[in-house]
């Protein structure tokens, strides 16, 4: 480690010590009565400190009313979007199962099903492979479940008054106890309210950033290819192991189109294409490299076009594969000028979601982790089709790989039915839940103020 790096590391340690001594608490403070907007703003928002307000939403009609039976009776027929994963981890770093070597940032498979089927899956876990979670983060409370809004409200009035504006998004979360939200942070002020069951949060203050490792992984999504067997399908990629697979468009292949988890088979796709279609190939460079080591492969990423399958059908094993390259992720960001402040969600908006979360981060390259240093700047993040994400599991930290995580200050808090947790912007959080827990949360835009600027500065110092 260079002298400069040592000095920066010392400063990080000082920051952590100061934060602990001066403002952090060892536990999340608990209030037993509602707060006024003024108190809430002055004592918690302005200081960027979490607080648990017991019984804050006890008077909502939803509390005591919403449960599995209610949802079945009231919304049983309704089609809902469900995130399905093999292991409960949606939006997390996972090993790919194609070549076993790479790790991916994997978003869930999204399935549309009647609410009653989702509830069956919750109640009869043995009969439904996979872990089911309603967790679409596109303001799904107001967008997908408007009929439930009167029982909770479009906002939390005291929070809206304190923040001075309506929430950006209101989400509903209904899940299996195996469903886990991996550690991340959001550029939002979060009012998280539990309606039924409980949620267990592990929090880290923003000052822990230097101790929290990131890894940059290609984007992928889960796809169940036969009951209980999930593949990790690289985003914008055809799932295939060999060039023979690529060639055989009639073979059953799964692919993901911008992570939409499009379930059409390659054969279906073929009928959509005609010979004159322009080919824009969407195979991840990594996959192409697996194809045929001797191929003259130009790395590429790209979006699917209808001509894709035609391209595949013409491909021969010993073809020199040359594919125009343009980073899917980068392209998406450039085209859509994705704003950096929304949360979005893993689903059809996965790029947006990822970018929004990623945009306030820098990351650690795994290879560089050994030095336990940190950082590249956020401009590096737009590397095609990859996502910087936290690679430590606070439930079982890999201290051997990430010894600096020992310096971090995890704070645990349980949020029970009727309670509201104020989770300040830029705080890292990892979330677990009781079985069939129902919760709603409200994301209010954060202020891009001095705190944010200091955080960005810290981020930039996290050197590799
Ligand atoms: O409830 C969950 O599973 C995750 C909640 C979360 O990450 C959030 O509100 O930002």
Q: Tell the residue nearest (CA) to atom 10 of ligand 1.
A: 186
- Which tokens is 240 given? 């295939």
CB of 437 closer than 8 Å to CB of 198: yes
Crossing angle of the two packed helices 350-358 and 328-336, in degrees rounded to 10: 90
Q: Does 73 fall in a domain?
A: yes
**Model confidence band, residue 218 (pLDDT cutoffs 50, 70, 90):** confident
**Model confidence band, residue 135 (pLDDT cutoffs 50, 70, 90):** very high
Q: Does 306 fall in a domain?
A: no
Between CA 337 and CA 334 the distance in angstroms is: 5
Q: What is the pLDDT of residue 77?
A: 96
Chain centroid, CA 312 distance in Å: 31
Residue labelled with tokens 């590397």: 383
Specify the ligand 1 atom closest to the Cα of 181.
Answer: 3
Instruction: Output the CA angle 37-42-47, nearest 5 degrees.
Output: 130
Range of the domain at 16: 3-215+406-461
Q: What is the pLDDT of residue 463?
A: 65
Closest CA to 47 of 39, 57, 58, 56: 39
**Model confidence band, residue 436 (pLDDT cutoffs 50, 70, 90):** very high
Closest CA to 70 of 190, 173, 246, 196: 196
369-390 pLDDT, tens digit per residue, is: 333 332 222 333 335 467 899 9
Q: What are phi and psi of 312, to 5 degrees?
A: -65, -40
Q: Tell the residue nearest (CA) to atom 7 of ligand 1.
A: 181
The answer to which of 128-132, 329-333, 384-388 has the lowest mean pLDDT is 329-333
DSSP state, residue 42: I
255: alpha, beta or left, given left = phi > 0 and alpha = psi -120 to 50?
beta
The mean pLDDT of 117-126, rounded to a whole number, is 96
CATH classification of the domain holding 7:
2.60.120.10
pLDDT at 291 over 50: no
The mean pLDDT of 307-316, rounded to a whole number, is 44
Between CA 224 and CA 165 the distance in angstroms is: 41
Higher pLDDT, 124 or 340: 124
CA of 438 to the centre of ligand 1 (A): 12
Q: What is the pLDDT of residue 290?
A: 35
- Evaluated on CA atoms 413, 137, 90, 382, the torsion sign reads negative
Chain centroid, CA 174 distance in Å: 16
Q: What is the pLDDT of residue 76?
A: 97
Q: Which residues are CB-contacts of 296 (< 8 A; sequence separation ≥ 6)? A: 320, 321, 322
Q: Does 292 fall in a domain?
A: no
Specify the ligand 1 atom closest to the Cα of 171.
Answer: 9
Q: Candidates 138, 175, 190: which one to mutate for ligand 1, based on the most atoms within 8 Å of Cβ?
A: 190
Residue labelled with tokens 């950006």: 168
Q: Does 290 fall in a domain?
A: no
Q: Does 392 fall in a domain?
A: no
pLDDT at 177 over 50: yes
93-115 pLDDT, tens digit per residue, is: 988 765 556 889 999 999 999 99
Residues with CB under 6 A from ligand 1: 135, 173, 181, 186, 190, 192, 199, 429, 431, 439, 441
Q: What is the pLDDT of residue 137?
A: 85
**Model confidence band, residue 235 (pLDDT cutoffs 50, 70, 90):** low
Q: Which residues are CB-contacts of 29 (< 8 A; sequence separation ≥ 6)? A: 49, 50, 51, 52
Between CA 373 and CA 14 the distance in angstroms is: 16
| Count of the separate structural domains present in the chain | 1
Q: What is the mean pLDDT of the chain?
A: 75
Between CA 464 and CA 459 the distance in angstroms is: 11
CA of 431 to the centre of ligand 1 (A): 6
CB of 136 closer than 8 Å to CB of 441: no
Compute how many other C-beta atoms are within 10 angstroms of the C-beta atom of residue 29: 13
Closest CA to 167 of 435, 454, 438, 425: 425
28-59 pLDDT, tens digit per residue, is: 999 999 999 999 999 999 999 999 999 999 99
CA of 328 to the centre of ligand 1 (A): 27
CA of 312 to the centre of ligand 1 (A): 40
Q: Tell the residue nearest (CA) to atom 3 of ligand 1.
A: 181
CA of 190 to the centre of ligand 1 (A): 9
Q: Does 20 fall in a domain?
A: yes
CA of 75 to the centre of ligand 1 (A): 23
Rounded alpha-carbon distances, angstroms, from residue 241 to 100, 288, 292:
12, 9, 10
Q: Does 261 fall in a domain?
A: no
- Which tokens is 31 given? 């209030």
Compute how many other C-beta atoms are within 10 angstroms of the C-beta atom of residue 324: 12
pLDDT at 239 over 70: no
CA of 171 to the centre of ligand 1 (A): 9
Specify the ligand 1 atom closest to the Cα of 188.
Answer: 10
Q: Does 277 fall in a domain?
A: no
Higher pLDDT, 163 or 275: 163
Higher pLDDT, 75 or 352: 75
Between CA 227 and CA 178 the distance in angstroms is: 18
pLDDT at 210 over 80: yes
């Amino acid at each position: 480690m260079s002298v400069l790096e040592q000095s920066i590391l010392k400063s990080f340690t000082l920051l952590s010590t100061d934060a602990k001594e001066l403002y952090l608490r060892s536990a999340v403070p608990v209030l037993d009565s509602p707060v006024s907007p003024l108190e809430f703003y002055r004592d918690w928002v302005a200081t960027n400190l979490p607080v648990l307000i017991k019984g804050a939403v006890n008077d909502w009609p939803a509390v005591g009313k919403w449960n599995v039976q209610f949802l079945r009776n009231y919304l049983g027929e309704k089609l809902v979007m469900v995130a399905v994963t093999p292991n409960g981890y949606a939006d997390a770093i996972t090993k790919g199962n194609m070549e076993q070597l790479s790790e991916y940032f994997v978003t869930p498979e999204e399935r549309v099903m009647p609410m009653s089927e989702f509830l069956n899956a919750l109640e009869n876990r043995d009969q439904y492979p996979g872990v089911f979670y309603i967790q679409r983060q596109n303001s799904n409370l107001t967008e997908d479940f408007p009929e439930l809004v009167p029982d909770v409200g479009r906002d939390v009035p005291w929070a809206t008054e304190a923040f001075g504006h309506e929430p950006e998004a209101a989400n509903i979360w209904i899940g299996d106890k195996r469903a886990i939200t991996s550690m991340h942070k959001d550029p939002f002020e979060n009012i998280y309210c539990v309606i039924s069951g409980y949620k267990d949060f592990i929090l880290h203050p923003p000052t822990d950033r230097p101790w929290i490792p990131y890894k940059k992984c290609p984007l992928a999504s889960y796809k169940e290819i036969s009951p209980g067997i999930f593949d990790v399908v690289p985003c914008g990629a055809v799932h295939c192991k060999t060039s023979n697979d690529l060639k055989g468009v009639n073979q059953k292949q799964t692919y993901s189109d911008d992570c939409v988890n499009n379930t059409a088979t390659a054969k279906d796709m073929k009928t959509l294409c005609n010979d004159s279609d322009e080919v824009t190939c969407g195979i991840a460079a990594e996959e192409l490299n697996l194809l045929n080591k001797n191929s003259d492969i130009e790395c590429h990423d790209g979006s699917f076009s209808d001509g894709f399958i035609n391209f595949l059908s013409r491909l021969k094993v010993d073809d020199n594969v040359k594919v125009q390259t343009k980073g899917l992720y980068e392209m998406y960001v450039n085209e859509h000028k994705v704003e950096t402040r929304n949360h979005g969600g893993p689903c059809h908006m996965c790029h947006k979601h990822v970018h929004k979360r990623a945009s306030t981060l820098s990351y650690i390259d795994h290879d560089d982790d050994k030095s336990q240093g940190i950082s590249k700047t956020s401009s590096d993040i737009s590397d095609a089709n990859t996502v910087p994400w936290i690679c430590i599991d606070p439930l079982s930290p890999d201290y051997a790989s990430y010894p600096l995580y020992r310096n971090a200050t995890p704070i645990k808090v349980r949020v029970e039915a009727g309670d509201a947790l104020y989770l300040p912007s830029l705080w890292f959080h990892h979330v677990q839940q009781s079985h069939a827990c129902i919760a709603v949360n409200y994301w209010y835009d954060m202020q891009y103020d001095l705190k944010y600027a200091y955080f960005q500065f810290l981020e930039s110092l996290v050197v590799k």
